[in-house]
């Protein structure tokens, strides 16, 4: 899957990310779930404290996020398609064209099998990530477990679309539970710190307004369309 198709939803806890991602999944978009909550849930089920010490927790999140990133590559490499003007086949990551280009050159489409056409269409399908490797790198850096040089290396190895959606903590819906124990003030601080972090590493942060899930879905998909038109790949 090209980096341009990987869209991150980040921000502070309690901003409604889960509801928004669930709505996107219901519409048929691929969604990659958050690692931190899965780790906390697993520890609670094992009778452990929700989080280990910060560096260990950040490392566990990073490992899972990196693994989920690699697993999502299958969305862009399961099938092969012919490059324009070339009878040879290339994997999705090697393709030199997009479905948009093919749509303006319909004479090429009859040559593709149904499975290949399906893959070509999926080249332009965005995948939404509930946080990302970049979030985990922030935690590792904040814990003193990773320096700037290593962060830069991993940011290059795990690229996403430059447009990143940020959901601010929303007091009207904010709730704590066994997996989320931050106060609202702490959630706001996480939001501000992560926003500065993403900007530092070259991402364009788009704040998602506090409104209905339906309106948020429309807002995100409109922004995704704009990012595709402007070219959001790194």
Low-confidence ranges of the chain (pLDDT < 70): 75-124, 174-181, 232-234
Cβ atoms within 10 Å, residue 187: 22
Separation between Cα atoms, residue 193 and residue 157, nearest integer Å: 22
Separation between Cα atoms, residue 51 and residue 39, nearest integer Å: 8
Is the sign of the CA dihedral 62, 193, 33, 125 positive or negative? negative
HSE of 41, CA atoms in CB hemisphere, 13 A: 5
- pLDDT reported for residue 19: 92
Q: Domains (ranges, CATH) in the chain? A: 3-75+125-230 (3.40.50.300), 77-122 (no CATH)
Whole-model pTM? 0.74
- Using alpha carbons, list the distances in angstroms from residue 106 to 19, 99, 103, 109, 111: 38, 11, 6, 5, 10
- pLDDT reported for residue 233: 56
- pLDDT reported for residue 16: 86
Please write the tens of the pLDDT for every residue from 159-206: 999 999 999 988 787 666 665 567 888 889 999 999 999 999 999 999
- pLDDT reported for residue 35: 87
Backbone angles phi, psi at 74, to 5 degrees: -60, -25
Tokens of 200: 């530092």
Q: Which residues contact 36 (CB under 8 A, 6 or more apart)?
A: 57, 61, 131
Cβ atoms within 10 Å, residue 203: 23
- pLDDT reported for residue 14: 79
3-class DSSP state for residue 182?
Answer: coil
Give the single-character DSSP code of 208.
Answer: P
- pLDDT reported for residue 38: 85
- pLDDT reported for residue 75: 61
Q: Give the residue carrying structure tokens 């477990």.
A: 145
- pLDDT reported for residue 183: 83
Give the E-state strand segments of 114-208 in sequence order.
127-130, 163-167, 204-207
- pLDDT reported for residue 93: 30
- pLDDT reported for residue 179: 58
Helix (H) or strand (E) holding 22: helix 17-26
């Amino acid at each position: 899957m090209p980096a341009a198709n990987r869209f991150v939803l980040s921000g502070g806890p309690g901003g409604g990310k889960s509801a928004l991602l669930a709505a996107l999944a219901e519409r048929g978009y691929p969604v990659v779930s958050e690692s931190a909550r899965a780790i906390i849930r697993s520890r609670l089920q094992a009778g452990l404290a929700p989080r280990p010490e910060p560096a260990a927790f950040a490392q566990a999140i990073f490992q899972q996020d990196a693994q989920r990133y690699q697993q999502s590559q299958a969305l862009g490499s399961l099938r092969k398609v012919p490059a324009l003007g070339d009878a040879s086949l290339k994997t999705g990551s090697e393709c030199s064209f997009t479905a948009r280009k093919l749509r303006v050159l319909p004479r090429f489409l009859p040559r593709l099998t149904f499975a290949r056409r399906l893959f070509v269409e999926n080249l332009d399908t965005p995948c939404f990530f509930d946080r990302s490797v970049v979030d985990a790198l922030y935690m590792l850096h904040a814990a003193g477990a990773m320096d700037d040089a290593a962060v830069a290396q991993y940011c290059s190895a795990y690229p996403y679309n430059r447009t990143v959606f940020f959901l601010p903590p929303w007091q009207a819906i904010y709730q704590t539970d066994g997996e989320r124990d931050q106060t609202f003030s702490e959630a706001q601080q996480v939001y501000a710190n992560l926003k500065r972090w993403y900007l530092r590493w070259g991402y364009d942060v788009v704040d998602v307004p506090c409104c209905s899930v339906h309106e948020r879905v429309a807002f995100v998909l409109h922004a995704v369309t704009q990012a595709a038109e402007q070219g959001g790949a790194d």
